[in-house]
């Protein structure tokens, strides 16, 4: 079976491809333009596998995307490529419009052309899986129920608005052009190999280096955290067994305030390293509160009942063990984040 993964050099995409390649019957084509967020070590690692190929293409390049679809003839498409950092979407929104909206359009277009050329038998198994975020639902108000698949979209940042737009396009291509699609909206991921601009890897790598650990506002924003491998397990269930036209929410049932999360990472560092080497009494002394991000959502909370009941998925990793594994990975892989990740 041929599967196109877009954004396979990114944090979640690389973890996904690593798992997909465990199945020798799959041929994976990774389409990634290798932006600053790409993990070049993952590309080197996968290159050794005969079931893997790579194409350095910008997904918004319609002609190049159409050509590669004709050549590779995918049975499934898993679309993860995106500009994903909210702060960058505020300073430079155009990249988010180009990649997240126009890039998704270009993939839908190529998928439709390809789908229409398939035999009836091949058509029944084709799916375009769009990987999206819970941020499309916007801020969680005090008396709201956790976001379900029926919650109205209300994005607040250019990032979440661009992802919401792409979700709408994907749904419209299903309703209008009968393209078999499935959408998943996931909460915040953490784990090995995440680019250091995001909260958890930034906290860990700054602690390792004895650098200030910034927290937006008063740090009371609440996020639901999911270990990346649990997200990957959910994506595999959805791409194989998800019902065309449906949306599945994926969450960790693991809501934590940012300040508590950072304090917990500092507590773990206090047990691993002598903070005195950094001329501080505890790693918590490195925390600095910085001006809040504009439009910063206070809370996200996601209801995963549908995927749990229909596809029998549940997160396996407990947060305490997941965060320890993640910290250890950044300690053991300093050359990875030093070499590739100069922001």
**Is the CB of 135 or the CB of 308 nearer to ligand NAD?**
135
Has 159 been annotated as catalytic?
Answer: yes
Residues whose CB falls within 8 Å of the CB of residue 98, separated by 6 or more in sequence, listed in order: 60
Phi, psi of 86 (to 5 degrees): -55, -40
Structure tokens at 84: 């994903």
Q: Is 81 in the site for ligand NAD (CB under 6 A)?
A: yes
**List 58, 135, 230, 317, catalytic entry:** 135
Q: Is 151 in the site for ligand NAD (CB under 6 A)?
A: no
Q: How large is the C-alpha radius of gyration of the chain? A: 20
Instruction: Identify each DSSP E strand in 187-306 by its residue range.
Output: 188-190, 213-216, 222-227, 247-250, 255-257, 287-290
Taking the complex as a whole, the smallest distance from the CB of residue 53 to ligand NAD amounts, in Å, to 15
Residue closest to ligand NAD when measured from CB atoms: 10
**Is the CB of 224 or the CB of 283 nearer to ligand NAD?**
224
Has 135 been annotated as catalytic?
Answer: yes
Q: Is 37 in the site for ligand NAD (CB under 6 A)?
A: yes
Taking the complex as a whole, the smallest distance from the CB of residue 107 to ligand NAD amounts, in Å, to 10
Q: Which stretch binds ligand NAD (CB under 6 A): 6-14, 20-28, 203-211, 241-249?
A: 6-14
Angle at CA of residue 328, ends 324 and 330, nearest 5°: 120
Total Cβ atoms within 10 A of residue 241 = 12
Q: Is 258 in the site for ligand NAD (CB under 6 A)?
A: no
The owner of tokens 């209801």 is: 303
Structure tokens at 113: 């052309």
What residues does 227 pair with on adjacent strands? Answer: 190
Question: Do the Cβ atoms of 88 and 64 come closer than 8 Å?
Answer: no
Cα separation of 155 and 312, whole Å? 29
Q: Out of 59, 107, 179, 215, name the contact with ligand NAD by CB under 6 A.
A: 59
Structure tokens at 240: 């194989």
**Is the CB of 81 or the CB of 108 nearer to ligand NAD?**
81
Q: Is 133 in the site for ligand NAD (CB under 6 A)?
A: yes
Q: Out of 5, 9, 110, 327, name the contact with ligand NAD by CB under 6 A.
A: 9
Q: Which stretch binds ligand NAD (CB under 6 A): 52-60, 203-211, 265-273, 293-301?
A: 52-60
Q: Is 7 in the site for ligand NAD (CB under 6 A)?
A: yes
Cα separation of 56 and 34, whole Å? 7
Instruction: Identify each DSSP E strand in the chain by its residue range.
Output: 2-6, 27-31, 52-55, 76-79, 127-133, 181-186, 188-190, 213-216, 222-227, 247-250, 255-257, 287-290
Cα separation of 159 and 97, whole Å? 9
**Is the CB of 111 or the CB of 278 nearer to ligand NAD?**
111
**List 105, 137, 159, 300, catalytic entry:** 159
Q: Is 17 in the site for ligand NAD (CB under 6 A)?
A: no
Q: Is 234 in the site for ligand NAD (CB under 6 A)?
A: no
Q: Is 186 in the site for ligand NAD (CB under 6 A)?
A: yes
Q: Is 300 in the site for ligand NAD (CB under 6 A)?
A: no
Q: Is 111 in the site for ligand NAD (CB under 6 A)?
A: no
**Is the CB of 122 or the CB of 316 nearer to ligand NAD?**
316
Has 149 been annotated as catalytic?
Answer: no
Cα separation of 211 and 283, whole Å? 10
| Residues designated as active site | 134-135, 159
Residues forming contacts to ligand NAD in the complex (CB under 6 A) are 7, 9-13, 32-35, 37-38, 58-60, 80-84, 99, 103, 131, 133, 163, 186, 188-189, 195
């Amino acid at each position: 079976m041929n599967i196109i993964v877009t954004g396979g050099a990114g944090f979640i995409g690389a973890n996904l491809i690593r798992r997909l390649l465990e199945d020798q019957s799959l041929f994976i084509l990774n389409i990634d333009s290798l932006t600053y967020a790409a993990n070049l070590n993952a590309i080197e690692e996968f290159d050794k596998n005969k079931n893997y190929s790579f194409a350095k293409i910008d997904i918004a390049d319609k002609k190049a995307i159409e050509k590669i679809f004709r050549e590779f003839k995918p049975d499934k498409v898993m679309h993860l490529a995106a500009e994903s950092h909210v702060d960058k979407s505020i300073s430079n929104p155009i990249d988010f419009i180009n990649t997240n909206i126009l890039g998704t359009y270009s993939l839908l277009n190529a998928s439709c052309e390809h789908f229409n050329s398939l035999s009836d038998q091949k058509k029944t198994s084709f799916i375009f899986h769009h990987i999206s975020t819970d941020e499309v639902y916007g801020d969680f108000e005090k008396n709201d129920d956790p976001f379900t698949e029926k919650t109205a979209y209300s994005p607040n940042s250019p990032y979440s608005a661009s992802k919401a737009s792409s979700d709408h396009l994907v749904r419209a291509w299903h309703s209008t052009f009968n393209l078999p699609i499935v959408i998943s909206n996931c909460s915040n991921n953490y784990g090995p190999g995440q680019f250091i601009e995001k909260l958890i890897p930034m906290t860990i790598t700054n602690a390792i280096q004895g650098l200030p650990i910034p927290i937006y506002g008063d740090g009371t924003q609440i996020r639901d955290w999911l270990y990346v491998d649990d997200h990957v397990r959910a994506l595999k269930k959805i791409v194989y067994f998800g019902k065309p036209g449906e949306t599945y929410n994926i969450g960790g049932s693991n809501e934590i305030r940012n300040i508590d999360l950072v304090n917990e990472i500092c507590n773990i560092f206090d047990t691993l390293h002598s903070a005195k080497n950094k001329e501080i009494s505890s790693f918590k002394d490195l925390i600095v509160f910085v001006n809040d991000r504009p439009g910063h959502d206070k809370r996200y909370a996601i209801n995963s009942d549908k995927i749990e009941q229909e596809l029998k998925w549940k997160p396996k990793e407990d947060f305490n063990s997941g965060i320890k594994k993640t910290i250890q990975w950044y300690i053991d892989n300093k050359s990875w984040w030093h070499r590739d990740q100069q922001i």
